[in-house]
Structure 1
Amino acid sequence: MASFQKYTTKDGIRWMYKYYSTIDPATGKKRQSTKRGFKTKKEAQLDAAKIEQEIANGTYITEDKYVTFEQVYRQWFETISNTYKPSTRKAVVSKFKKRILPHFGNLRMKDINSMYCQEVINQIAKEIKSVENMKMYVNQIFEYAISKEIIAHNPIKGVIIPKDKNEFIVDEGQLEERNFWDKTEIKQFLNILKDEYPLQDYVLFHSLIYTGARKGEILSLRRKDIDFKAKTINLNKTLFFENGKHMSLTSKTAASRRLISTDDTTLSLIKKLHTERNRASVVNLSFDNNEYLFIRNDGSPLRLAYPNDKLEEIIRVHDLHPITVHGLRHTHASLLFEAGASIKEVQERLGHTDIKMTMNIYTHVTRTVKEQTAAKFATFMNEL
């Protein structure tokens, strides 16, 4: 039961009450708490009755746990970060620092309501496309706070992610965009590399196109990942840089860790690259199991941005159809589909966990091919 007491302030008489709340795990005894500032004893009694009911229902949150969102985030991150790869930890910290903490960081958890969360999500949706990802992380903080009895309810649970009005508008130019090349464009690109660029650049992009691997997977390849007899490449890790240092991290999912078959030309080019490298003595390395396939002059792996920069340069100088490095993966997939591979086969080769990702490529490629067919017909008719 609560005990009530009257006291005097400069603003006049006020009432307070003392009560016992939750069990202190350190002592095993109930915590004694105090609430002040009531103008009348009746107000204090009504509030005390409400608190006692919450304690009985198990929904009461003690006053000393009214911490800020950032304090909860930091405790959550300290708890959960050991389960993340370094690349994931870095990405999570960046998301909170840039997008989430500026909106929530200084607010007390108990003061954040659903309406405010909706306003924040609406604002973030105007700035970036990955707003759903941001909501997911904010939700984790609130759920963590509930598990630690800091708050009783999750204010972001019912928040709606707004639709971009552009989703309902057909962009006439969008149908012309494609992030992959056809066979003719690939041959032109590889010929340019072969004639005008170092062998390593040629082998690097040839490998990206002929394996469909992610750039981090290709750049992390070592000699031991290549089996020349079985004609396979083991894609089981990805390259990561942090504070100027590189490391190879295990692939995120089981589907990403895969052994793929490769062709004689790709294997021959890899052998040729290392033969030339050892002959030139660029670095004092032998063709051993731990040597990276694609390296700088000091033997360290190429930086992750290197393929992007080189591809952009070649496209700009030679006026090629613009695609991204990731588009080379789409290129590989599109040619597999054209060659008659099944969606399941392409999914396994690309290391997609969800077949929907493969289906998205298939749908886009199919639509583009149909559009090209119509264009060919129109061109033929115009020639009459």
Structure 2
Amino acid sequence: MASYSKYEDKKGNEFYKVQFYLGRDPQTGKSKATTLRGFRTKKQASNAMIAAKNDFINGKQKKPKNRTFKDVYVDWYESYKLTVQESTIARTKGIFNNHILKAFGDKRINTITVADVQKAINHWYKITDRNYKKWFNYTSLVFKYAVKTRIITENPCSLVTIPKMKRTYGKKLENFWSIDQLNQFMNCIDPDKELEKYTLFRVLAYSGMRRGELLALTWQDISFKDSSVDINKTVAQGLRGKLIIQPTKTKAGRRTITMDDTTMLYLKRWRLSQKQMYMMYGFNTMNKSQLVFANSKNKLKSLNTPLKWLNAIIKQNGLSKITVHGFRHTHASILASNGVPVKQVQDRLGHDDVKTTLQVYTHVSESDRRKTVQIFNDAMKN
């Protein structure tokens, strides 16, 4: 049964509208009615009604015409955040808010062209050396979602020309130290005056663990009996910049590593000193979940604190510059240079596959380069 009626718009023009029953919604089982308007004649209204009924019977739903890229991103994001850890969610949200949504957010997604995406990635390429590829890949994920949900038919990212990564001239600064450089650094810290700082950097250097893994350590992770450290969690930056503890970066990242006796002695010294110091602050450090390295409020230490300490020591003593992650590189480099099999290095560092260990952490030191030349020269003399 249909009901036709006339109405006037704001300018006084007459139009027809039709109200009619579509049928039962197959998903909800509820009766569904609708109203169509804006027709010059009753015949036009009738034809539109018949077409709408056919679409409903055949399960064709009217696609939203005005969905913006941001609208689709919001839907995609709700599913995406269920697949990753909170720290990744926070980074992803920042990338979209700071870059991708600025380029596409208010545009209707079905009007965004290959040229629009090409213009965006060209701009990103100009302002960042490496991140432009990551931003592009995230952009493509939203378009892929739009294709899967039949909002658009093609992903414009698939036809974009991705700029080549910029190359720089000159010698690349290595982010690791030699044994002599590491010893020089450690000698710059007096453990009698700065025991926590000395212990923190010694654990980093002698374990090869990540910064977040170090700052997440609790005393129950330390086995003085076995001289080992159980790495099972990491500190990361979550939503709204809040520090959080979450599982290790990868499955292989959960590991137990053996430590040297001297490092374990410094950990024992620091544990005793921490108990005495924090008792003065009114904190009970006897519980098993007590952080090994905490801030003055006995909470998670800032991820930036080790870097501030490191940079200050480097500046004061004129040392070669590396990052906190450079201690991990240094650890792997020393192991590799002294003949430790790469599979063992992989296990100690907590990599999922040996390829990552080979590509990122196995460095060749200056002494190794000299050895290579000497081996060749000795071979030529024989």
Distance 2:338 2:31 in 1: 73
- String of CA shifts for 1:162-208, please: whole Å, max 9, x gaps: 113x43xx62332xx21111111111111111268510000000000
Displacement, 1:115?
Answer: 2.2
CA contact (8 A) 1:212 1:329 kept: yes
Instruction: Tell me the equivalent position of 2:260.
Output: 263
Specify the alignment match of 1:286 in structure 2: 285
Residue of structure 1 in register with 2:4 after alignment: none
8 A Cα contact 2:63 2:151, kept in partner: no
- Match in the other structure for 2:346: 347
Aligned to 2:153: 152
Quickly say closer, same or farther: Cα 1:64–1:276, change in 2 above 3 A: closer
Measured against aligned partners, the alpha-carbon deviations of 1:97-117 in whole angstroms (never above 9, x if no partner) come to: 011000010011111122211
> Residues of 1 paired with 2:294 and 2:304: CA distance?
13
SS at match of 1:156: helix
8 Å contact kept, 2:234–2:248: yes
Verify the 8 A CA contact 2:250 2:351 in the aligned structure 1. Answer: no
- Does 2:250 correspond to 1:253? yes
Residue identity opposite 1:83 in structure 2: T
Aligned residue pairs total 357
Structure 2 residue aligned with 1:199: 195
Q: CA–CA distance in 1 between the matches of 2:115 and 2:358?
A: 37
Map of 2:131 onto structure 1:
130
Aligned partner of residue 229 in structure 2, secondary structure: strand
Change (3 A) 1:230 1:312: same
CA contact (8 A) 2:337 2:368 kept: no
Partner of 1:226: 222
* 2:101 partner letter: L
Task: Assess if the C-alpha contact under 8 Å between 1:238 and 1:248 holds in 2.
Answer: yes
Instruction: Pick which of 341-350 and 308-317 moved more.
Output: 341-350
Equivalent residue number for residue 172 of structure 1: 170
Contact 1:222-1:290 at 8 Å conserved across structures: yes
C-alpha distance in 2, partners of 1:25/1:71? 24
Q: Deviations over 1:137-158 (max 9, x none)?
A: 1122112222322222222123
Cα–Cα, structure 1 residues 355 and 270, in superposed 2: closer, same or farther, change >3 Å? same
Unmatched 5+ stretches in structure 2: 1-8, 14-21, 40-50, 375-382
Matched residue SS, 1:64: coil
Partner deviation per Cα, 1:265-304 (whole Å, 9 max, x = no partner):
1111111001122234344323431110012222113211
Q: Paired residue for 1:366? A: 364
* CA apart distance, 1:28: 8.2
Show the counterpart of 1:162: 163
Alpha-carbon distance in 2 for matches of 1:31, 1:163: 55
Structure 2-normalised TM-score? Answer: 0.79
Are 1:24 and 1:30, in contact at CA under 8 Å, matched by a contact in 2? Answer: no
2: CA distance, partners of 1:208 / 1:190: 11
Question: Closer, same or farther in 2 for the Cα pair 1:359/1:152, shift >3 Å?
Answer: same
In structure 2, what is the Cα distance between the partners aligned to 1:143 and 1:350?
35
1-side partners of 2:132 and 2:65: how far apart? 29
2:274 pairs, out of 271, 274, 277, with 277
Q: Helix, strand or coil for the counterpart of 1:328?
A: helix
- Please list, as runs of the form range in 1=range in 2, the aligned pairs for 1:1-384 lying within 5 A after superposition: 25-26=27-28, 62-128=62-128, 129-164=130-165, 166-167=166-167, 171-174=169-172, 177-194=173-190, 198-242=194-238, 245-280=242-277, 281-283=279-281, 284-361=283-360, 365-366=363-364, 368-369=366-367
Query: What code does the residue aligned with 1:96 have?
Result: F
Contact 2:210 2:325 in 1 (8 A): yes
Distance (Å, rounded) in 2 between the aligned partners of 1:87 and 1:371 = 39
Residue ranges of structure 1 left out of the alignment (5+ in a row): 1-8, 13-19, 38-48, 377-384
Q: Percent identity?
A: 32
Please report the RMSD computed on the Cα atoms of aligned residues, expressed in angstroms. 4.1
CA distance in 2, matches of 1:250, 1:288: 21
Comparing 253-262 with 150-159, greater Cα deviation is found at 150-159
The whole-number CA distance in structure 2 between the counterparts of 1:120 and 1:286 is 52
- CA separation in 2, counterparts of 1:66 and 1:27? 28
CA distance 1:76–1:35, change in 2 (3 Å): farther
Q: Cα deviations across residues 35-61 of structure 1 (Å, max 9, x unaligned)?
A: 999xxxxxxxxxxx9xxxx99xx9x88
Cα contact 2:217–2:291 (8 A) shared by 1: yes
Moved over 4 A (4+): 23-37, 241-245, 367-376
